Structure 1
Amino acid sequence: MSSMIISTEPATGVEIWRGAPGDAGAEVAAAREAWPEWAAHSLAFRIEALRRFANEVRSREQAFADLIARETGKPFWEARTEIASVIAKVEISANAYLERTPSRKVEAALGSKVAVRHKPHGVLAVLGPYNFPAHLPNGHIVPALIAGNAVVFKPSEKTPATGAMLVECLHAAGIPEGVVRLLIGGPAEGKALAAQEGIDGLLFTGSAGAGMALHRQFAETPHKILALELGGNNPIVAWDVADLDTAATMIVQSAYLSAGQRCTAARRLIVEDGAEGPLVEAIVKLIDRIIVDHPHADPQPFMGPLIDVAAADHLQERYLDLMMKGARPIRRLDRPWEERPYLTPALIDVTDVKDRADEELFGPVLQMIRVKDFDAAIDEANATRFGLAASLIGGSPQLYDKYWANVRAGVINWNKPTNGAPSNAPFGGVGMSGNHRPSAFYAADYCAYPVTSSESEVARAAIAQGLRDPVSDLTPTD
């Protein structure tokens, strides 16, 4: 069992929450007991309960956003957008469930019917990340509850206070405590939850390494649903750009929103060799205007700190490794306050680095690669095991068609940032970015399973072939 879980503000180091680790087995047992009654309620009943939850979150909007900002370090304005996403998720999920899992009946032979309905899996475990500690787990929890599942939710050990408030809002809305259980803990509790025989599936958002471990763990339990939403080494290609300032804005948004702590953040900027100068100049001018400060600073910052000192130390190590291998800094990754995890946005040219690691650098580091032509740009975009997000900035419709057709990713944008995926569309990746269980609008697909029924009000049966004639089987009496 983990020791006491303590949450501190990344910006200041001040403790804001602490709690004892929970017992995975006990939480699953409680959810298992409560699940049948919740599943027996009508869909309308469950949706109405989730609408009350949305209103409960709305009533706590300021306090909830303040907690997220303090616990993650993200600017207060950004935390408010996360709360807005939590609220909006309910109606989006209700519409998605009705569209993705409709009940239907079609006529069959002899007056019978073929019916298709959906059932919940049962008890689903949800493991949440720290970068969007309310929105991302909520994106699993709400669809799971609408479908009729019970949930055991373990938030990241780095953001337990946000997880606790999310569950508190669910319970305050009248969703039974047994139906949504909160498991506080660290990696040990997460592993214990994933290993429980009493869960019917696990919904995970996090790193590719953890996702691979879960995939191996679930290899011998194909009867359990496993939905993995993992990271990316995402490319953004800038080609034949007409509006340099707009392109620079989209690139900066893609790379540095949330201090680069988004799975959809652009990690690699791919440009035409020899033509990149004006664009790079526009990007640098914007980078130099970025405010890096604590979440409630005035004026509001564009970036806050990383989640903790360990994360900042790791990113600096990876940055220095690239420098040692020949990368050229255009804007350095600096640490304004050594004792806190603040980092400045970095832009580095890694064109001449021969053995770049294909990894997700989870922070404000954008690597630029110069290529000779557009075919090489596509090759470079695909030079990754991941496949979450990709964007093309500039170019013609024909060029975008070529990009869309050849780039491997689950989210492919044109003249839009790599991040900020819409919730009313599916969200997921290929390769090391997921296991073909897209979330957002398609979350309903992994929260319920289809049941096909052949039905008739009157029993009719006949065997047309393969039986002896009953008359010929009679034995003569004389």
Structure 2
Amino acid sequence: MKAYNYINGTWREAESGERMGSRNPARPGEEIGSSPRSSRTDAEQAVQAAQTAGLAWRDRPAGERGELLRQMALCLEARSGELAELLTREVGKTQPESLGEVKRGVAILHYYAGLAMHADGEHLPAADGVSLLYTRKIPLGVVALITPWNFPVAIPLWKLAPALISGNTVVLKPATGASLTAALLVEIISEAGLPSGVLNLVNGAGAAVAAALVEHPLVQGVSFTGSNAAGRRIAQQAAARGIKVQLEMGGKNAVVVMADADLARAADAVVSGAMKSAGQKCTATSKVIVQPEIRERFTTLLLERLQAITLGPGESPGVYSGPLASEQQQRSVLAAIDAAREAGAELLWGGGMPQTAETAGGYYVEPTLFAGVDPASALAREEIFGPVLAVLEAATLEEAIDLANDTEYGLSAAIFTSSLTSAMTFIRRIEAGMVKVNSETAGVEYQAPFGGLKQSSSHSREQGVAALDFYTHTQTISLTM
């Protein structure tokens, strides 16, 4: 596949003429396509196109914008298999996971289409008893969406849909590791008939293109999902200009398993949360904290499930998890595993690259389980973003909560218990933006606000009605005749 930038309703090469190759992480020798290596010039052209289209899009009746989103959903649904297949080949997800993500994208578009006629303000009593005092939501203008490779359909859409329905125009900058998927996604949804310039796509290296977008004087808002280092840099650039910025970043998500829990159910959820998508989710389970009296039994349950996991190319039937998305990801995860061993953690399972015909040459890492983990170690406190799980012990619920909170992140957390008292204590004290009781840490619902605490987020919320708040300003009007 040969992808292009999409600017002002036309597909075009980067001004430089340079391109970047994309390879299948399951079979790195297989090049699946290329995309433009864009520069600041391309980003500026996309922003200008979005600015030019902005007034007409903003003034378009909300119901018409909603109908366009509904048509985008129908276009995406009609070509869901095609997009899911490319997603699997480019990022490495299993086919069921890829298809599920595309279907989620369809649902997101339908959801925000339904919010087109949602109330966008309120009527307030005026002090003089005569004037009409009310508020309304107005769009920011041009917004830049900077998205990651791990959910290359769902995340762009859960940013794009509320931005468009609120009357903004958009420049999408996807991760280089998902540039082909992003281009096909834009091709599909643009078939709905979006006016030229309302949606623009610029591929290219993150630092150069992202900086050009954040620093552009016409860009009025930036929504970013990715690493903490990149997020902090974007936040500084946005703050220097005084524009709105939304960051969703890392997580070190803990599960607490109490002695009164259904242990088999908990083990299923922990393994699913930690190992699906090769652990490459910001909400993936990274550490599990158990009471001493169930540690041995629960660890055995985890090992049974880990030993049954099948790795292989995402399109192969029956595969539980595919490869990591890139060689860089593989190296990073293996380095974290080596560091954990050197720090004295006990390796119970995995820890290397699988040696099978199905996985040969691919960017795979075995499902890995550590015990005897020092709570102060990097393994217990820092994000790895791979299929690595640490088991820690805590004698009491209070101690378990303290261990769960002992990290700079605060995205997702879960507890397994049959005690309502324990569940409510956990909910009150855990430092996480998303809290689960008797279900895995991974997974979000598009109709509910999503975001983290501490260093996981800039503290605004994505998805649900709450997402509209970021993409709008509140305007107050007093009308006296």
Give, as a single letter, the amino acid of the residue that structure 2 aligns with 1:450.
T
CA contact (8 A) 1:273 1:371 kept: yes
After superposition, the Cα gap between the structure-2 partners of 1:379 and 1:2, relative to the gap in structure 1 and judged at 3 Å, is farther
1:301 CA drift (Å)? 1.0
1:2 CA drift (Å)? 10
1:450 CA drift (Å)? 1.1
Q: Measure the CA separation in 1 of the matches of 2:181 and 2:442.
A: 22
1:7 CA drift (Å)? 1.3
Q: Which residue of 2 aligns with 1:18?
A: 34
Q: Measure the CA separation in 1 of the matches of 2:348 and 2:320.
A: 20
Q: Measure the CA separation in 2 of the matches of 1:268 and 1:66.
A: 32
Task: Select the residue among 320, 335, 351 that pairs with 1:333.
Answer: 351
Q: Which residue of 2 aligns with 1:4?
A: 19
Q: Which residue of 2 aligns with 1:343?
A: 365
- Within a 5 Å distance, the mapping from 1:374-413 to structure 2 comes to 374-413=397-436
1:107 CA drift (Å)? 4.4
Structure 2: gaps (5+ residues): 1-15
- Larger mean CA deviation between 383-392 and 161-170 belongs to 161-170
Q: Which residue of 2 aligns with 1:91?
A: 110
CA contact (8 A) 1:326 1:353 kept: no
Give, as a single letter, the amino acid of the residue that structure 1 aligns with 2:352.
D
Task: Select the residue among 213, 231, 241 that pairs with 1:221.
Answer: 241
Q: Which residue of 1 aligns with 2:378?
A: 356
The answer to whether the aligner puts 1:306 opposite 2:330 as a matched pair is no
What SS does structure 2 have at the residue aligned with 1:48?
Answer: helix
1:377 CA drift (Å)? 0.3
The answer to whether the aligner puts 1:265 opposite 2:280 as a matched pair is no
1:241 CA drift (Å)? 4.0
Q: Which residue of 2 aligns with 1:189?
A: 209
Task: Select the residue among 299, 310, 322 that pairs with 2:340.
Answer: 322
Give, as a single letter, the amino acid of the residue that structure 2 aligns with 1:447.
Y
CA contact (8 A) 2:152 2:178 kept: yes
Q: Measure the CA separation in 2 of the matches of 1:377 and 1:361.
A: 21
Q: Which residue of 1 aligns with 2:155?
A: 136
Q: Which residue of 2 aligns with 1:276?
A: 295
Identity of aligned residues (%): 31
Q: Where in structure 1 do 4 or more consecutive aligned residues deviate above 3 Å?
A: 94-99, 352-355
Deviations, residues 358-417 of structure 1 (Å, cap 9, x unaligned): 321001001111122211101101101100000001241100111111110000110010
Q: Which residue of 1 aligns with 2:4?
A: none
Task: Select the residue among 415, 420, 425 that pairs with 2:443.
Answer: 420
| TM-score normalised by the chain length of structure 2 | 0.91
Task: Select the residue among 108, 131, 134 that pairs with 1:115.
Answer: 134
Q: Which residue of 2 aligns with 1:463?
A: none
Q: Which residue of 2 aligns with 1:454?
A: 478
Root-mean-square deviation (Å): 1.6
Q: Measure the CA separation in 2 of the matches of 1:95 and 1:437.
A: 22
1:96 CA drift (Å)? 5.0
Q: Measure the CA separation in 1 of the matches of 2:212 and 2:21.
A: 20
1:30 CA drift (Å)? 1.0
| TM-score normalised by the chain length of structure 1 | 0.92
Give, as a single letter, the amino acid of the residue that structure 2 aligns with 1:295.
G
CA contact (8 A) 2:26 2:361 kept: no
Q: Measure the CA separation in 2 of the matches of 1:133 and 1:268.
A: 26
1:332 CA drift (Å)? 2.0
Give, as a single letter, the amino acid of the residue that structure 2 aligns with 1:220.
A
- Larger mean CA deviation between 399-408 and 338-347 belongs to 338-347
1:340 CA drift (Å)? 1.9
After superposition, the Cα gap between the structure-2 partners of 1:353 and 1:359, relative to the gap in structure 1 and judged at 3 Å, is closer
Deviations, residues 200-220 of structure 1 (Å, cap 9, x unaligned): 110111111111111122222
1:17 CA drift (Å)? 1.7
CA contact (8 A) 1:309 1:339 kept: no
CA contact (8 A) 2:66 2:115 kept: no
CA contact (8 A) 1:248 1:279 kept: yes
1:234 CA drift (Å)? 0.8
Q: Measure the CA separation in 2 of the matches of 1:390 and 1:98.
A: 34
Q: Measure the CA separation in 2 of the matches of 1:350 and 1:388.
A: 24
The answer to whether the aligner puts 1:46 opposite 2:65 as a matched pair is yes
1:356 CA drift (Å)? 2.7
Give, as a single letter, the amino acid of the residue that structure 2 aligns with 1:192.
A
Q: Measure the CA separation in 2 of the matches of 1:270 and 1:351.
A: 10
What SS does structure 2 have at the residue aligned with 1:310?
Answer: helix
- Within a 5 Å distance, the mapping from 1:163-242 to structure 2 comes to 163-187=182-206, 188-222=208-242, 224-242=243-261
What SS does structure 2 have at the residue aligned with 1:367?
Answer: strand
Q: Measure the CA separation in 1 of the matches of 2:68 and 2:444.
A: 27
1:24 CA drift (Å)? 0.9
What SS does structure 1 have at the residue aligned with 2:410?
Answer: coil
What SS does structure 2 have at the residue aligned with 1:276?
Answer: helix
- Larger mean CA deviation between 149-158 and 188-197 belongs to 188-197
After superposition, the Cα gap between the structure-2 partners of 1:225 and 1:2, relative to the gap in structure 1 and judged at 3 Å, is farther
- Larger mean CA deviation between 110-119 and 35-44 belongs to 110-119
Q: Which residue of 1 aligns with 2:312?
A: 293
1:221 CA drift (Å)? 2.1
What SS does structure 2 have at the residue aligned with 1:160?
Answer: helix
What SS does structure 2 have at the residue aligned with 1:268?
Answer: strand
CA contact (8 A) 1:21 1:189 kept: no
After superposition, the Cα gap between the structure-2 partners of 1:409 and 1:353, relative to the gap in structure 1 and judged at 3 Å, is closer
What SS does structure 2 have at the residue aligned with 1:341?
Answer: coil
Q: Which residue of 1 aligns with 2:393?
A: 370
- Larger mean CA deviation between 320-329 and 86-95 belongs to 86-95
Count of equivalent residues: 454
CA contact (8 A) 1:208 1:231 kept: yes
- Larger mean CA deviation between 74-83 and 185-194 belongs to 185-194
1:5 CA drift (Å)? 1.8
1:319 CA drift (Å)? 0.6
CA contact (8 A) 2:66 2:112 kept: no
After superposition, the Cα gap between the structure-2 partners of 1:96 and 1:334, relative to the gap in structure 1 and judged at 3 Å, is farther
What SS does structure 1 have at the residue aligned with 2:240?
Answer: coil
Give, as a single letter, the amino acid of the residue that structure 1 aligns with 2:24.
E
CA contact (8 A) 1:332 1:348 kept: no
